[in-house]
Amino acid sequence: MRLRIDLAYDGGDFAGFARQTDQRTVQGDLEEVLTRLVGQPAAVTCAGRTDRGVHALAQVVHLDIDDTTSRARRALADLDRFRRQLDGSLPGDVTIWSVTAVPRTFHARFSARQRIYRYRLVDDVAAADPIRRHDRWRLDDPVHVPSMRQGAGHLVGEHDFASFCRRVEGRTTMRRLLDVTVTRPSPGRVDLRFAGTAFCHQQVRAMVGCLVDVGRGRRNAPWIGEVLAARDRRVAARVAPPHGLTLERVTFGSGRPSAPLKRVRR
C-alpha cells in the first residue's frame, strides 16, 4: 500500500526535513513513529526538503508499506484512526493533516507540479508581534515595496539561479520561477510569495536577502538582474534567516488534490 501523508511543522527545533545523524529532523521523527506503528521500516519521500529552521504548512510525503503483515494490516484498516495515532505520537511541533491511500503512480516529489513558499517580514516595531517572532524576520528599518516588486520581476522565468543557490556537485541550478509577489498585507508587514516548479538549496532565502537590500535602498532594482546574470554566489547579498520562510502549498498533476489536504484536523 502506498500512503500519502499531508503534514505541517514548526521548523524551529529541527535541523531541516531530511534525516541527519545525531540531529533532530522531521523525517527522523516521522519515520521513527511510523516504523513503530506499522511494525516495519518506514522510509518516506517528501515533496520538498526544507532547511534548518524553515516551517511547512503543506509538506507531503509518500511511503510504501507491506500491508500483508498482520500488524500493518491492523494499523491501516482505518486510516482516520491511523492519522490520529500518528498525530498523537508525534511531538507538538508536527501536525498530521491527513493520511490517504494513493496509487503507486503517485510520487510526493516527482508528481508535484508547483511549490509555493511565503517569506514574512516585519519592518515597523508597531507591527512586531512577539508571539509571531518565530515565523517572520524583523527588520530595523522600513523597506520600499515597489522597488522590491520591480527587482522581483527579474527573477521570473527559467534561469540559471547559481547566484542564489548553494551548489551541489553534479546538480543543475537551472530552475523555473513562475511568479513572485511582494505585498504589504497590513502596516509594518511585508510578504514575499514565490511560486516555482522546484527550488534549489537556499534559493528562496537568497532571493529574499537580495530583495531586502533593494527595499532598503542599498541596491537598485536592476541589480537583481545583474546578480542573476553573474551566476556567482559571491555577488549576492546574505541569505535571509530561515525562520521567516514557510512552505505553504504544493500542487500535483493528473487531478490529484493540492496540499495542504486538511481532511481531518485535530
Q: At what angle do helices 203-215 and 222-230 cross, to 10 degrees?
A: 150
204-218 as b/e: b if 16+ CB within 10 A: bbbbbbbbbbbbbee
CA 195/CA 197 separation, integer angstroms: 7
Phi, then psi, of 136 in degrees rounded to 5 = -155, 150
51 counts as catalytic? yes
Query: Which of 127, 132, 126, 134 has the alpha carbon at shortest distance from 54?
Result: 134
The set of cell numbers assigned to 36 is 513503530
Given the residues 51, 87, 123, 135, select the one marked as catalytic.
Answer: 51
Residues classed as catalytic:
51
